[in-house]
Amino acid sequence: MTDPVPTDEPLQGAAMPPDGETSPRLDQFRAEVANLKVRGGAAEPERWATVLGLLLAVAGVGLGVIAYNKSHHTQKSLDQGDAFIVALVAVSVTVIGAVLWLRNSLTRWFRYWLLRLVYEDREQTDRLIATLDRIDGHLARLDRGPGTAAGAAPTPSDTTR
């Protein structure tokens, strides 16, 4: 951190607009924001899709049982045909619900898993760096001699990490 800060150079691609005017970047930003698709304010949409999928799957199974009962307790082929159609709808609803539940459950789980991986990776790197710093400190103290080991000052990196 010893480099001089180049304070006299303007930032590349940016210039202060005159008073009362907005910068071209903000104008571009305004246009991009205007084109954004706003999908509404639902917090964690996967949660609702998961619940909906589960409800659909359960409803589909229930509908299947109803269709079975309907066909089992009738001799009329017309009623059995109706029950057959209800059973087909039940299977469809169950499959759609199960897919919805599976897709959104996996999305939520994988998101958590990815965040956990990133977090663990960062923690592991921090532990590694801390260990290397400690080794550096010990080596520095050994270089200075045994008398300085107890009250040695921290290395520069200790103050900036």
Partner 1 sequence: MSTLADGHGPPASRPGVSRSSPALELRGVRAGYGTIDVLHGVDLVLHEGEVLALLGANGAGKSTTLKVATGQIVPSAGTVSLCGREVNGVPFDALARAGVCLVPEGRGVFPNLTVTENLRMATFTGTSFREVLDRAFQQFPRLAQRRKQTAGTLSGGEQQMLALARALATAPAVLLLDELSMGLAPLVVQELYTHVQRIAATGVPILVVEQFAYEVLAFADAAAVMQGGRVHAVGPAADIADQLQDLYLGASE
DSSP letters, 83-127, are HHHHHHHHHHHHHHHHHHHHHHHHHHHHHHHHHHHHHHHHHHHHH
Binding site for partner 1 (CB under 8 A): 1, 3, 5-7, 9-23, 25-26, 28-30, 32-34, 36-44, 121-122, 125-126, 128-129, 132, 156-157, 159-161
Minimum distance, C-beta of residue 74 to partner 1, in the bound complex (Å)? 49
Count of alpha carbons within 13 angstroms of residue 73, beta-carbon side:
6
For partner 1, the closer CB: 11 or 78: 11
For partner 1, the closer CB: 106 or 115: 115
For partner 1, the closer CB: 7 or 77: 7
Minimum distance, C-beta of residue 110 to partner 1, in the bound complex (Å)? 16
Minimum distance, C-beta of residue 143 to partner 1, in the bound complex (Å)? 21
Q: Is 53 buried (19+), middle (13-18) or exposed (0-12) by CB count in 10 A? A: buried
Residue ranges in the chain assigned as alpha helix (H): 24-34, 45-72, 77-144, 156-160
Minimum distance, C-beta of residue 86 to partner 1, in the bound complex (Å)? 37
For partner 1, the closer CB: 28 or 92: 28
